[in-house]
């Protein structure tokens, strides 16, 4: 199948760096002599025909912007054969014969089904703040989200010290605790609770008790939202049931971690992956995600990138324990 026109879309949760990836993918598409199109609102926009041709100027002045100019949306309709058929018909009507999908594992699961169903070339770019995909050292938005969390932890630490308070800070990470782990280490947290490791509440108690015995009345506990302890408010209850000397407060960072200007690292990563995606399609590749592993571009089949989760770095986990 000869490719003449490549469509680019973003899907699932937004992440800083998506715009930089769109820019790179569109300009690389044009550089290789293909036509380019942008599909708004992910798979739902594909079903509804929300598709526009794009050129180099269409992506000017977006590399530094958070969010995604192509928007993102969930699509239950795309889960149905009828919905996917509508999407395919709209792509053909717009002369699109290959896709670049920017998103996470849900995006890639949809891409895998669609690509196999209609024999359609699709290459994925990992865009998720959770950094939970096999096949790339880092995903788009992870570095920015971690830096956003660290900045917030630093500011909360100031007020914790001023009032001798214990703050429990909840960061994003329903299934993956890498944001919590890295930001917790960088923020000097006394305890870090993540989904990948069973929470040792007794160990947290011991750490807090040890600090209190030394006269330390302010502390920081970082909790990933998907931790098995039950989230920040549940951890607050547990601590208050065990100690009466702590003034415990909760801060949930929430979607602030998804927004903001992408860091230099995320912009460069996005630029590399946008080009890599076009080069993969140009080389006849399909059904895979492009990633950077040890500084080199690597292709990982959708089924592996979508189904597997990255294991927590045991050295980082050990470091967090020693320094708490």
Distance from C-alpha of 288 to C-alpha of 16, rounded to nearest angstrom: 22
Place of tokens 């990836």: 21
**Cα→Cα distances 88→47, 115, 117, Å:** 8, 10, 10
137 as an active site residue: the answer is no
Residue 36, strand partner residues: 6, 54
DSSP per-residue codes, 104-115: -HHHHHHHHHHH
Distance from C-alpha of 165 to C-alpha of 274, rounded to nearest angstrom: 45
Distance from C-alpha of 127 to C-alpha of 289, rounded to nearest angstrom: 11
Whether 99 contacts 111, CB under 8 Å: yes
Distance from C-alpha of 151 to C-alpha of 110, rounded to nearest angstrom: 35
Residue 58, Ramachandran bin (φ over 0: left; ψ between -120 and 50: alpha; else beta)? alpha
User: For the chain, what is the radius of gyration of the CA atoms?
Assistant: 22
State residue 245 phi and psi, 5-degree precision: -90, -10
Whether 158 contacts 116, CB under 8 Å: no
State residue 160 phi and psi, 5-degree precision: -65, -40
The contacts of residue 66 (CB under 8 Å, 6+ apart) are: 14, 16, 19, 144, 258, 259, 260, 261, 262
Choice among 130, 132, 143, 266 that is catalytic: 130
Whether 153 contacts 164, CB under 8 Å: no
Sheet holding 35-39, edge to edge: 51-54, 35-39, 5-10, 98-103, 122-126, 288-293, 296-301
Active-site residue numbers?
130
């Amino acid at each position: 199948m000869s490719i003449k026109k490549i469509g680019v879309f973003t899907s699932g949760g937004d992440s800083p760096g998506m715009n930089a990836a769109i820019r790179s993918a569109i300009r690389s598409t044009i550089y290789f002599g293909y036509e380019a199109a942008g599909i708004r609102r992910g798979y739902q926009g594909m079903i509804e025909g929300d598709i526009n041709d794009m050129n180099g100027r269409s992506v000017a002045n977006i590399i530094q912007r958070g969010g995604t100019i192509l928007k993102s949306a969930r699509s239950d309709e795309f889960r149905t054969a009828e919905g996917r058929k509508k999407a395919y018909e709209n792509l053909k009507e717009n002369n699109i014969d290959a896709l670049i999908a920017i998103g996470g594992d849900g995006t890639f699961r949809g891409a895998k089904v669609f690509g196999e169903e209609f024999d359609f070339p699709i290459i994925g770019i990992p865009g998720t703040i959770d950094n939970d995909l096999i096949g790339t050292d880092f995903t788009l938005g992870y570095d920015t989200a971690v830096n956003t969390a660290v900045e917030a932890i630093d500011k909360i630490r100031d007020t914790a010290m001023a009032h001798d308070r214990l703050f429990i800070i909840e960061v994003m990470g329903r299934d993956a605790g890498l944001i919590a782990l890295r930001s917790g280490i960088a923020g000097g947290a006394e305890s870090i609770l993540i989904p990948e490791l069973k929470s040792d509440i007794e160990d947290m108690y011991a750490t807090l008790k040890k600090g209190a015995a030394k006269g330390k009345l302010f502390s920081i506990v970082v909790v990933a939202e998907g931790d098995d302890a039950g989230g920040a408010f549940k951890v607050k209850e547990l601590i208050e049931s065990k100690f009466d000397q702590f003034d415990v407060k909760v801060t949930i960072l929430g979607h602030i971690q998804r927004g903001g200007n992408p860091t230099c690292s995320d912009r460069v990563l996005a630029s590399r992956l946008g080009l890599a995606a076009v080069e993969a399609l140009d080389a006849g590749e399909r059904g895979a995600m492009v990633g950077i592993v040890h500084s080199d571009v690597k292709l990982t089949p959708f089924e592996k990138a979508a189904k597997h989760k990255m294991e927590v770095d045991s050295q980082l986990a050990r470091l967090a324990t020693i320094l708490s």
